[in-house]
Amino acid sequence: MTMNQQAALERQRALYREKNAHLGKYLEPVEPFEFYREIFPEGSFERRGHFEDAKGNGIALVVPPKNGVALEIQGDGKAHRHVITDELKELEDIKDTEFTIMSPISYFGRKRNGKNARYLYAMVFDLDGVGMPQLRDTLHQMNKDIIPKATFVVNSGTGLHLYYVLTEPIPMYPHNQKILKELKYALTRQIWNRFTSSIREPQMQGILQGFRVVGTGTKLGKEYPVVAYRYGGAVELEKLFDYIPDSNGEQQRIQALMRKSRLSLAEAKEKYPDWYERRVVKKERRGRWTVKRDLYDWWLHRIADEIRVGHRFYGIMTLAIYAKKCGIDEEELRHDAFALIKPYDDMSVEDINRFTKDDVVCALEMFNEDYVTFPRDDIAKISGLTMPVNKRNWRKQKDHLEIARAIRDIGVRQKGKKDWRDGNGRHNAEWEVYRWRQQHPEGRKADCIRDTGLSKPTVYKWWDSEPPAVWQEDGHMVARVRPSQALSDLLVEALKKDGD
């Protein structure tokens, strides 16, 4: 560690102590056991050895320490899961670990994924970029009811975790998870503001996100543990809706989702018998498309070139999602992800937020079949990267080309020609670039140069041009699909007549 890095670390440690002193002056410190007992009341989990209880359990994920491989580690850099039973005695086994995370959720089995999630006991919001001014303002905004009053305020080292313990745990049915995710996104935009964080852009997190366990180490070291302080009481989920502004209709949309979720399983069986047979009786997985590895390679290039501080963890997390979606081998994913540690860590301004192996190991937990349908819009939110829109307007290629050829033929008849090939020449370079972009919609110019063998000036010249007048597609010559309004109207009339 350089002298500058050591000095920055000492400043962060001094700030950590100052935050604890300020929080301890106004709030009550809470011991780890008491903290988790309040989140998970007695009877929430299965008693140790009593499998007949048929209840979920907590899962703590212990990440390898930086200075070697401890007993908790299985294999090279892979984390070990500790199942937390109702007595919470397992918390003693992990209290001296450097980096351990846990969600306020009970799970069936040993995997932390949406399919196994049973109940959500608290909503948690992670605030980064919290100095003393931001800490004081966060407490002020909660005191003045500008943002909801947290049950616990947790000093996580370089930031804050705000825990909202729910009066009643929420069943983690798939539709409920969707509602809770939307609610969390909306509340994050209110809680993460220019007074509570020095980082301008809010960092969106999913409802299954894990957080450093109270009593375990922070990024500053084991000697600087995660500390919890009591602020308010338990909260009703419906009360949180009051903090979402009405102006953009977000509150009404989430509440509508909530009303829809109240359909019971018995009602769903009667209303959607086919779905009930497939998903409940036969326990079939939701179907999904198998995607070519081009998507994975494109996203790897993007998170390597475009990611910003505050989104690095989510860049790798979404890379793991795409790896599973595209059938990428786990070893290749791990190699690509760990190769990003150094360039990501180099982005750390003044060493405030270092990026470590711990972050990568934790992010790779998303390499799981349950996340392959993770929505594109959510990936854009948490990664901070824009996502391109499908140029075929989500039509299948066959349907898209059928419409394109119909438009072409109408245009040809308007011009009095018998064959659309009459008078058309082929623009070789333009055609090559356009065809390559059709096949690689997320590709980069450098990749196009490499794959086509065209020169850099040629690729740059035609990169953003209109498609050629004519190009080859699946053995057919088709016209470009950019119809004028007149052609569109003619096509509609032609389709109507064809339908008659």
Residue 306 has pLDDT above 80, yes or no: yes
| CB neighbour class for 470 (10 Å; exposed up to 12, middle 13-18, buried from 19) | middle
Other Cβ atoms closer than 10 A to 18: 13
* Least confident interval from 69-78, 209-218, 370-379: 69-78
Provide the percentage of residues in the chain whose pLDDT is more than 70.
73
pLDDT at 59: 94
Q: What is the mean pLDDT of the chain?
A: 79
Q: Pick 367 or 218 by higher pLDDT.
A: 218
- Under the banding of pLDDT at 50, 70 and 90, the label for residue 460 is confident
What is the C-alpha end-to-end distance of the chain, expressed in Å?
Answer: 77
Determine the Cα–Cα distance for residues 47 and 89; give it in Å rounded to an integer.
11
18 pLDDT band, cuts 50/70/90, is very high
Residue 262: pLDDT over 90: no
Greater model confidence, 73 or 190: 190
What's the average model confidence in pLDDT over 134-153? 95
Segment 403-410 mean pLDDT: 70
Over 60: is that where the pLDDT of 495 sits? Answer: no
- The predicted pLDDT at position 496 comes to 46
Question: What does the pLDDT read at residue 8?
Answer: 83
- Tens of pLDDT, residues 199-232: 888 888 888 889 999 999 998 988 999 999 999 9
pTM of the predicted structure, to 2 decimals: 0.60
pLDDT band at 283 (very low <50, low <70, confident <90, very high): low
The pLDDT confidence band at residue 471, using thresholds 50, 70 and 90, is very low
pLDDT for residue 276: 67
Specify the higher pLDDT residue, 256 or 364: 364
* CA–CA dist 50, 93 (Å, integer): 20
